Every structure is written in structure tokens, then in C-alpha cells.
Chains A and B, each alone.
Chain A
């Protein structure tokens, strides 16, 4: 079998050292009736070339967005991944290590996490960040649990325009804690309806979740109601697109207590939606309520600068049933990629990224709305994603585009019911070129119903 070394001689010598007659004997402790005496009904092993051929053939049964012209977002964005990121993060020194329990032999991983925490802290303008969560959805769910624990309250207000997949995950996470979710409707311009928010605020509300840009791409204005949220004793939890923070006001600058988001766009492939990487940052006061691993700077006995896992008494392996979360394995390698990505782009490249994304989105929106019958659904400002109201079913437009190798976007009816059937969520990244807009518009025009009279 592959990946083992033993010769028959080795096996014999090892068994002899144990005083065992056979390897089977080592399994005698399993009751006889449970022994499998035949091989499992799985095919025999393949060689590496056979495996590569077989998996290559399966991979070609997909029609990946990366080979098409794609305007798909919805929380997952296909950005250029710099060669350096693939090269460095693929190194076995990072990939084949594990949680840095022995810090003296894990300084590489520990410092990368420390730099990740610093990058996230600066992007969000909050002083504390952790080493990663599973994805943007679970990061938000954990933030809701954290807020409920901090405030000892049991209601969380979530916007209607929240990523619907995040909402499903939050529901799974909070029901065990008997936390009630209440929905804040969307205003005609596409952001949170402020009147409803003010009406729902009371002394049971642990947190108000604001996602910006929201699922419809619209930017929220949390600074308009931040003071009222805090006056009501609730926390402001911001769910943000990290790329948008290149140009947009960061959560720490409008009083958010906890900021979370999806780190996939930071140098990670779209990869059919996984693995992803959630991030979480918060105010200093809440560091001991935070879930997940946290790395601190420290010194060694000789005074050398070093890094170490800290506040482990929050975690499951120490605190068990009283832990802040059950998370153990996280998304370290994706956080490593994000760290290298942000380091490489740096102050200048990251701002450039945000500007290019927004500029392309702005031009695309202008081009689409110039097509007869197509309008922007919402008037709130957007960053790189927006909703188009089509003159026909969005599904019709999407099918027509797909035939020409274009992924036109996400039909909102997928999540928001038949009432949203003409709505199409369109996203761009720096990978989309200006001329791509023409190709999409050509399809939109053809998909538009012919006017009579």
C-alpha cells in the first residue's frame, strides 16, 4: 500500500519485539463478532497516474466559473490570486504543521497568525482579532452567541438583507441557547429600515447585526443608529466584506463592538465554497469572551521576541463545558494565505484593489441600466455588487447567458421567493475587464422580451 515503509522483515521484527504472532492479533481486543473478515466493498487502490487520470476526468465534468465570464458573488468572490500566495502557502512547513501547541517549534505558524490578527485589526479598526473561524457565516453566528453572553440578553436583530445562507447557519447555532432572531426589514433604498430598528430595540436585545455591503450589495449607515443601539445596552455586530474595507469606513470607526466576515476573497480560491475562512475582531473589553485561538507576543527566557497561544483558558481543551466555543481545528492555512495576500498587496495594492473593483462595478451598472428594461433595484450606494431588476425572469436571463459561457449572477428568487423572480444579483472583481460588460449587455438585450405596440 502507498505511503508506508515496512518491509516484511520489519513487520516480523516488530511483531517479534511485541511478542505477537500477527497484526491481526493486535485487534483481538475488538469482540470477534465485529471483526471484518473480508475487505470493504471499495475498489482496490489505484496508482498515482491512474488516480490523476481519474480525478482529472471528474474535474472536467465541471464547468468552472474560472473558465467562464463570471458575475457571481453572493459572499464568494473570484479575485486574482498572486503567484507568491500559492507558492508560499503551499509550502509543507505551513501546510503540514498543526495547531502550535509547542510554541518553540511553531514560531512560523504563530507569527503568521499574529500578523493575520494585525492585518484584520487594521482593516476593521478594532484592537483584537482571533486566529480564524470556519467561515463568514459561523463567525457571525459565534458573534451572536458572544454578544448574548456578554449582555446576558436573548434577542438578536438581523437584517432581511443579510446573506440568506448566513441566516440559516445562525439559526442552527443560536437555537440551543434559546436566542430569538428578529428580522429588520429592508428600506426602499436597499439598506436597513431605521424606523423598524428603533422600534425593535429594547432591553432584551443583545445585538444588532449589520451586514455591509448587505446581500443586495447596498451599503449600510450604522453610524446613524450606533448610539441608539448602545444606549439600549445592545452590541453592534458588523459583518463585512474585507475587500470593501480597502475604501469603506471600517467597523471600529462607527462604534461596532464585534466585526466578522468572510476571508475567502483575500487570496483564497472560490473552490466550490470551501474551505473558507471566517475572521473576527472585537473591542479590547471582550477579548476574554472571544471564541477560537488567539496569539500574543511574548519573550523567551533569553529575552528574544516570540509568539504564543494565549488565553487558552477560554478554550475547550482547558475549560471544557464552560468554554467560550467548541471550536478546535480552525482554518489556519487559509488565514495564512490571507496574511500573505494582505502583506503583498499592502497599503497601496489593497486600496487599488478596492478602487478597481468599485470602478468596474460602477461602469457595469451604468452599462446594464442603459439596456432597455433593466434598472437598479436599489438606490443606496454599492461597492462591487448590486441588484438588477430585469424585464423578465432573472432565470431566463441567466439561462441565456449560460449558453454563451457567461455566469450572469445569482437569481434572488433562489432565496427570497417568487416575489424576487425578476431580480439578479451581479458582482464584479478586478478580474472582470471593462469589455466584459459589453458581452453581458449583449445577452441581456437579447433576453429581453420583444415589445409589442
Chain B
């Protein structure tokens, strides 16, 4: 007997002979012309449910999710800002959604205009020379960045093997370096949570290809010595890549191109308000300086006198990263968002994001110290360390927050802060919501002192309580077993 009860899955609701959707009004026949050995033998094993059942089943599931349209989703590094509905409406327009990617350029002028326009907007926002929107997510943007670096050095007859990342870096940075065939060297951040130039110099040599740096970094701190960092790396002949996951802090205020970065990626699903979809899709456009432009993926969108075309003939390109042109539906949303905000709104969005993070930090710092304190940018990393003496961990704080109807911040990241709580409120939260969240965190700190078991047994108000992850890891059950 299975240790699991799958009666509440769509499979548990299935009854033989129930039909949900008809493709044809006439009975269909077994395929003719295809010899038997090519054909499927027996049932597929898909469920048999009715349309109303499907509605109720997935409505039921939808109710078990926290989401940003319900309340604050302070997941640090993920920029869970409000997702404007007009963006989705535009993406669903038949002129866009009904376009086949193999159609001729003449049939797709509007779509190419959006791609070209978005690339130009991102170039302006980043202070870079050229942009490829092709990468499907931030991690793929990083991959493109390192492929560009490899092509760049190969073109110069250089062979460099190492990628440098600070110990506060996102996990995707070292993982990407490995996929592209580089060796990662992690170096320690300085006492102030930022890059220490002496440490950086000690690991730099002519084998280093790229420094990957998140700006502001994952502690929510701006790298104030950025000009010297970039200069030092360039002096060693290496390139500087900016992980733009935190671009929401600085857009309209300052430009990575001016800092001296050679390339960077954006996360359209973070900075440009596209919905996170329960895990994706995202989009990770890469912006570069002109010396890397020849290596960008094919095709490029080219404009001549107001007409747009896809150019595949790119002799130095690193190739392609996507079947077609990347996550076009996400470009539409980001483009629409930028159109709504305009230059003034973009600047106001980042300054409000930074204001909100600082305000929230100031409200909770008495109970949750911020080790790399002073001012933060769009997010901050607090620690639950003082609560440990009550037998309470950061994990317990996170779980207790769920009972208050909030999602939890990112926890235990970055690795440089023990018991880390990485909080990013974004600009689309009101002062009232921030106060409510701060009050909840302060109450939780009080509970830790007076009744820690409330925390260690939390959550209790969610659809399920804490889960047995260990057994799942030892012997994962990843499907409903087939009878």
C-alpha cells in the first residue's frame, strides 16, 4: 500500500468513461497508414474528469497558494512587485499571441518593433551599447554572458579559465560558470559586506576571464568602490559581468554601463513587473558594451528606415540559446510596463523601492539586527541570531510569518549572514502594509521570548503544516503511481 493518499489529486477524481473536452463532433478512428509497431499499446493513463470538476479542482488548489495579489511577498532577490494587469491583456492580444515564429518578417513587424524597442530601452536604462533579449531567464542570461566572454577571449587568442565570484553571490553564478566550462573561484567579502579590493587583487591574474558581481549586492549594499573594482579587473585583462537581479534598486538613478561593466543581465520578471508564474517564465536580457556586440546570439533585430528584420548572418555569434527569440510574451509585458512608467516613473519606482526597504529595516532593526547595517538599497539582510537563545531559528520566524498571512522572506541566504532573513518589500507596497509586516515581525520576536513553542510549531493556519522533507529526499515519490 502506498504511503500516500492521492484521492485529492486530479487522478483521484477520475472515473472511467467521464469526458472533459471534445475535439471532434464525430467519432474518431484508429489511425490508418501508421503501422502497428509505431502505435501506442493500451491506455495512456490520463485522468477522466468533467469540465466542472477541472474548474473546481484547480480553483481549490489555487486557494492553497500565497501570491502577491493577496498580500506582501517579501522574497529577497526576487522582486515580487505588483504585476499590472494591463501587461497580461497586451500579451494576450491576438496580433501577438497568434503569431507563428516562422512567419515572415513582413507579417511580424509589430512584434519585431517591440523586441527592437525593448532592446533600445534596456540599453538606455543600463547605459550599455547593445542588448539581446533572447535569454529565457536570469540564469540563461548569465550563461550568455560567459559564452560571450569565452568568444571574446578566443577571438583575442587568449585562454582564460577562471570566473571570480564573491561569497555573497547567487548560486546561479558558480553553477553557470561550471556549465560553460569555467572554474569558479569564490573570494571572501570584506568586513563591510562589500568587495575588498586587496582580496580581489590577490585572486586576480591572467587566467581570470570574468568577475561576476551583483550590484547592489545580495546584502542590499551598493558596491561603493565599484569604479576601482572594475578598473582593477580590467587592468588584469578580465571582463566585468553584472548580475542585474537587483536592478530595481538603481534603475533611473545610475547606470551599470557608467560603472564600467562590460555586460549584465536584466530579470524582466523582477525589475519589469512580469508575473513570476509559480516559478516562471522569466526573461533574462543581456546588455553589452560594443566590444562584445559581435558575439551576441542570432538572430538580431535590425531596423532600417522604420522596417524591421531578423538578421541571422552573424559570423562571430555564440549561437542560440532558445528555439526562437526567447520569451516574447514577457517582452510585451515589460515593454508595456515601461510605457506606463516612463522616464519619471522608472526613477520613482527605484527610489520608492529603496525608501520602503529602508523604512522597513528601521522598524525591525531593534529585534532583528542588520549586520551590514547603515543604509540599504532595495532590500536588506537581517539576522534571527538573537532569537537563538530562546531556541528559535530563522526558519521558525519564516514559518510563523505564514500564519500572519504573509509570505516569508528569503532565508539562509546570502551565506555570509548567519540565520539570514533577506527582505525585499518592493515599491508597490503601502506604508500600512509595511507597518503591518513590521508589527508581525516584532510580535514574533516577542513570542520568541515568551512562548517560543508558538514559533517552533508554526505554521498552523496554512493548508498544511510543516512537512517531512527528509523522507521525500530519501525516497522521492514524484508521480501518482500507474496502476
| Interface 9-residue window, one of B105-113, B200-208, B379-387, B439-447 | B105-113
Whether the Cβ atoms of A34 and B254 lie closer than 8 Å is yes
Question: Is B448 in contact with chain A by the CB < 8 A criterion?
Answer: no
**Chain A: minimal CB distance from B44 (Å):** 6
| Interface 9-residue window, one of A2-10, A150-158, A443-451 | A2-10
Residues of B within 8 A of A94 (CB): 62, 65, 67, 277-278
Question: Is A300 in contact with chain B by the CB < 8 A criterion?
Answer: yes
- A to B CB contacts below 8 Å, 17 in the list: A1-B341, A51-B339, A64-B95, A65-B99, A74-B102, A76-B102, A88-B54, A95-B88, A97-B277, A98-B279, A108-B61, A131-B279, A298-B472, A321-B178, A327-B139, A346-B18, A359-B29
B:25-44 near A, CB below 8 Å: 28-35, 37-41, 43-44
**Chain A: minimal CB distance from B395 (Å):** 10
Question: Is A198 in contact with chain B by the CB < 8 A criterion?
Answer: no
**Chain B: minimal CB distance from A308 (Å):** 5
B:327-370 near A, CB below 8 Å: 327-330, 332, 335-336, 338-349, 351-352, 354-356, 358-359, 362-363
Contact among B32, B227, B321 with A31 in the assembled complex (CB-CB below 8 Å):
B227
Whether the Cβ atoms of B137 and A35 lie closer than 8 Å is no
B:203-255 near A, CB below 8 Å: 221-222, 224, 226-227, 250, 252-255
Question: If A137-B322, A316-B171 touch, does A2 touch B21 (CB 8 Å cutoff)?
Answer: no
Whether the Cβ atoms of A245 and B171 lie closer than 8 Å is no
Whether the Cβ atoms of A317 and B472 lie closer than 8 Å is no
Whether the Cβ atoms of B171 and A323 lie closer than 8 Å is yes
A:176-197 near B, CB below 8 Å: 176-178
Question: Is B14 in contact with chain A by the CB < 8 A criterion?
Answer: yes
**Chain B: minimal CB distance from A20 (Å):** 7
Question: If A74-B102, A262-B323 touch, does A40 touch B343 (CB 8 Å cutoff)?
Answer: yes
Question: Is B93 in contact with chain A by the CB < 8 A criterion?
Answer: yes
Question: Is A452 in contact with chain B by the CB < 8 A criterion?
Answer: no
A404 vs B253: C-alpha distance when bound (angstroms): 51
Whether the Cβ atoms of A29 and B322 lie closer than 8 Å is no
Residue of B nearest to A318 (CB): B171
B:48-101 near A, CB below 8 Å: 48-49, 51, 54-55, 57-59, 61-70, 73, 75, 78, 80-84, 86, 88-91, 93-101
Question: Is B166 in contact with chain A by the CB < 8 A criterion?
Answer: no
Residues of A within 8 A of B330 (CB): 274-275
A414 vs B313: C-alpha distance when bound (angstroms): 12
Whether the Cβ atoms of A344 and B255 lie closer than 8 Å is no
Question: Is B430 in contact with chain A by the CB < 8 A criterion?
Answer: yes
Whether the Cβ atoms of B139 and A39 lie closer than 8 Å is no
| Mask: chain B, 1-33; 1 = CB below 8 Å from A; 0 = not | 001111011110010001111111000111111
**Chain B: minimal CB distance from A434 (Å):** 11
A128 vs B479: C-alpha distance when bound (angstroms): 7
Whether the Cβ atoms of B37 and A221 lie closer than 8 Å is yes
Residues of A within 8 A of B462 (CB): 104-105
Contact among A26, A97, A310, A349 with B476 in the assembled complex (CB-CB below 8 Å):
A310
Question: If A70-B100, A249-B38 touch, does A326 touch B176 (CB 8 Å cutoff)?
Answer: yes
Contact among A42, A131, A177, A296 with B343 in the assembled complex (CB-CB below 8 Å):
A42
Residues of B within 8 A of A322 (CB): 178
A317 vs B170: C-alpha distance when bound (angstroms): 7
A176 vs B150: C-alpha distance when bound (angstroms): 9
Question: If A326-B179, A342-B46 touch, does A44 touch B342 (CB 8 Å cutoff)?
Answer: yes
Chain B's interface: helix, strand, loop or mixed, by majority?
Answer: loop
Question: If A58-B113, A273-B328 touch, does A310 touch B478 (CB 8 Å cutoff)?
Answer: yes
Residues of A within 8 A of B309 (CB): none
Whether the Cβ atoms of B281 and A10 lie closer than 8 Å is no
Question: Is B450 in contact with chain A by the CB < 8 A criterion?
Answer: no
Best-surrounded residue of A40, A91, A293, A329 (most CB of chain B within 10 A): A329
Question: If A74-B102, A104-B466, A336-B277 touch, does A93 touch B40 (CB 8 Å cutoff)?
Answer: no
Q: Which 4 A-B pairs have the closest CB atoms?
A: A66-B98, A273-B324, A273-B101, A332-B279
| Mask: chain B, 377-416; 1 = CB below 8 Å from A; 0 = not | 1000000000000000000001100100001101001000
Whether the Cβ atoms of B255 and A36 lie closer than 8 Å is yes
Whether the Cβ atoms of A60 and B354 lie closer than 8 Å is no
**Chain A: minimal CB distance from B371 (Å):** 17
Residues of B within 8 A of A67 (CB): 94, 98
Size category, A interface: 35 or more
Size category, B interface: 35 or more
Whether the Cβ atoms of A330 and B279 lie closer than 8 Å is yes
A4 vs B427: C-alpha distance when bound (angstroms): 6
Residues of B within 8 A of A118 (CB): 9, 11, 479-480
**Chain A: minimal CB distance from B47 (Å):** 5
Question: Is A168 in contact with chain B by the CB < 8 A criterion?
Answer: yes
Whether the Cβ atoms of B51 and A270 lie closer than 8 Å is no
Whether the Cβ atoms of B4 and A305 lie closer than 8 Å is yes
Whether the Cβ atoms of A96 and B83 lie closer than 8 Å is yes
Whether the Cβ atoms of A135 and B83 lie closer than 8 Å is no
Residues of A within 8 A of B407 (CB): 102, 105
Residue of A nearest to B88 (CB): A90
Residue of B nearest to A287 (CB): B476
Residues of B within 8 A of A101 (CB): 75, 408, 410
**Chain B: minimal CB distance from A4 (Å):** 5
Question: Is B124 in contact with chain A by the CB < 8 A criterion?
Answer: yes
| Interface 9-residue window, one of A202-210, A227-235, A350-358 | A350-358
A294 vs B48: C-alpha distance when bound (angstroms): 25
Residues of A within 8 A of B454 (CB): none
Question: Is B420 in contact with chain A by the CB < 8 A criterion?
Answer: no
Residues of B within 8 A of A410 (CB): 102
Question: Is B264 in contact with chain A by the CB < 8 A criterion?
Answer: no
Question: If A39-B343, A99-B279, A336-B277 touch, does A274 touch B325 (CB 8 Å cutoff)?
Answer: yes
Residues of B within 8 A of A1 (CB): 341, 344-345, 348-349, 352
Best-surrounded residue of A44, A137, A274, A355 (most CB of chain B within 10 A): A274
Question: Is B469 in contact with chain A by the CB < 8 A criterion?
Answer: yes
Contact among B9, B48, B282, B319 with A114 in the assembled complex (CB-CB below 8 Å):
B9
